[in-house]
Amino acid sequence: MPDRAQPWDRTVDLPPQDPWAHPPAPSAAPTSGAPAPGPQQPFSRGVAHVKPAMPKTESFTAEHQPVGTGWPDAEPPQVRRPVGWHLRQLRKGGEWSFAAAVFAFVGWGIWAISGGGNLLSPLVVFVLILAVAAGIFALARLLGRLLIERRLGRPRRTARGAHLVAAVFLVGVGLAYLRQTGWVMDAYGWVKDLFV
Asked if residue 185 has pLDDT above 60, the reply is: yes
**Higher model confidence: residue 70 or residue 148?**
148
Per the CB < 8 A criterion, the answer to whether 99 and 167 are in contact is yes
Cα dihedral 17/22/25/26 (nearest 10): 50
**Higher model confidence: residue 12 or residue 108?**
108
Which pLDDT tens digit goes with each residue over 92-139? 888 999 999 999 999 999 888 888 778 888 899 999 999 999 999 999
Asked if residue 187 has pLDDT above 70, the reply is: yes
Q: Quick one: pLDDT at residue 168?
A: 95
**Total length of the chain:** 196
Q: Mean pLDDT: which of 41-50, 69-78, 155-164, 172-181 is highest? A: 172-181
Asked if residue 83 has pLDDT above 60, the reply is: yes
**What is the Cα–Cα distance from 186 to 21, expressed in whole angstroms?**
114
**Mean model confidence pLDDT for the chain:** 77
Going by C-alpha positions, the residue among 44, 43, 42, 24 that lies closest to residue 34 is 44
> pTM (2 decimals)?
0.54
At 189, the pLDDT band (50, 70, 90 cuts) reads confident
**What is the Cα–Cα distance from 153 to 147, expressed in whole angstroms?**
9
**Higher model confidence: residue 131 or residue 83?**
131
* Phi, psi (rounded to 5 degrees) for 47: -125, 125
* Phi, psi (rounded to 5 degrees) for 44: -145, 155
Which pLDDT tens digit goes with each residue over 152-177? 877 777 888 889 999 999 999 999 99
**Higher model confidence: residue 107 or residue 47?**
107
Q: Quick one: pLDDT at residue 183?
A: 84
Mean per-residue pLDDT, 43-68: 66
Mean per-residue pLDDT, 75-87: 69
Going by C-alpha positions, the residue among 137, 180, 178, 179 that lies closest to residue 159 is 137
Q: Quick one: pLDDT at residue 145?
A: 83
